[in-house]
Amino acid sequence: MGKDVIIACDFPSAEQTLAFLDRFTGRKPFVKIGMELFYAAGPDIVRQIKARGHKIFLDLKLHDIPNTVRRAMAVLSNLDVDLVNLHAAGTAEMMKAALEGLTRPDGTRPLLIAVTQLTSTNQEALEQELLIEKPIDEVVMSYAENAKKAGLDGVVCSPLEAEKVHARCGESFLTVTPGVRFADGDRGDQKRVMTPEQAKEIGSDYIVVGRPITQAQDPVAAYERCCREFIG
Ligand code: C5P
């Protein structure tokens, strides 16, 4: 899969999500389904969106004992999603089990990426609560390397980290980056942002864009602008 724009469909119900996707009569965007929508609408929403011809990033961030993750990933793989994720903090053993669970009898599987440290975790929380004393960017890079060694396809990271991740883990190791805003747009609650063009320059493989598209007056035009700036 090449570079692409993934729309974060952060809606509370299946109805709202499908009404939003109805607007896209031409090219079918790659969409991200997160915990809110999945827990509200269940696996059926994944099947429905897939049946409409969209690629799907199922952002459920699994983190449990290896056996549970292996079995859960097998269920997600059966939903025929394209990209799923987990927490690298679950250890290499858990990540390898996830890959086993995802792999279908014919050898194919969805891409699997890891969350390293959530961007909501800061150095203070890392030290005081998680008792990890290393600088947070070292922790992020080390978790990315663990994911690579375990056989994963990439990580979710800030666009500001994408270059470093590629330098450490190789150009083919995927970087999927949220925190994207148009140069003339609202930042919302995102603090460290990049434009689609900047994300392209620093080598992000996929950008995850929510509100700049979902809340736009014309979401289809905003999506197309995003694709033009990011993919070219
Ligand atoms: O609306 P916005 O473009 O900020 O949406 C970004 C999406 O990426 C949301 O679904 C958000 O939960 C997700 N995300 C993020 N920052 C991270 C990880 C995920 O914004 N570090």
**Average pLDDT over the chain, rounded to an integer:** 96
Q: How far does the centroid of ligand 1 lie from the alpha carbon of residue 109, in Å?
A: 24
pLDDT in tens, 152-171: 999 999 888 999 999 999 99
Q: Is residue 83 in contact with ligand 1, taking CB distance under 6 Å?
A: no
Can you give the pLDDT at residue 159? 85
Q: What is the mean pLDDT of residues 103-123?
A: 95
Distances (CA, A) of 13 to 3, 35, 59, 153, 177: 28, 12, 16, 30, 25
For ligand 1, atom 2, name the residue with the nearest CA.
Answer: 210
Q: How far does the centroid of ligand 1 lie from the alpha carbon of residue 207, in Å?
A: 10
Q: How far does the centroid of ligand 1 lie from the alpha carbon of residue 223, in Å?
A: 16
Cα atoms found within 13 Å of the Cα of residue 204, Cβ hemisphere only: 28
Q: How confident is the model at residue 1 (pLDDT cuts 50, 70, 90)?
A: low
Give me the catalytic one of 50, 61, 96, 164.
61
The torsion angles phi and psi of 56, rounded to 5 degrees, stand at -130, 130
Quick one: tokens of 139? 């922790």
For ligand 1, atom 3, name the residue with the nearest CA.
Answer: 210
Q: Is 61 among the catalytic positions?
A: yes
| Rounded Cα gap, residues 160 and 162, in angstroms | 6
- Is the pLDDT at 91 greater than 60, yes or no? yes
pLDDT in tens, 195-208: 999 999 999 999 99
pLDDT in tens, 18-72: 999 999 999 999 999 999 999 999 999 999 999 999 999 999 999 999 999 999 9
* Mutational pocket test of ligand 1: of 160, 165, 180, 208, the residue with most ligand atoms within 8 Å of the beta carbon: 208
Helix (H/G/I), strand (E/B), else coil: 50: helix
For ligand 1, atom 13, name the residue with the nearest CA.
Answer: 178
Beta partners for residue 162, in sequence order: none
pLDDT in tens, 128-147: 999 999 999 999 999 999 99
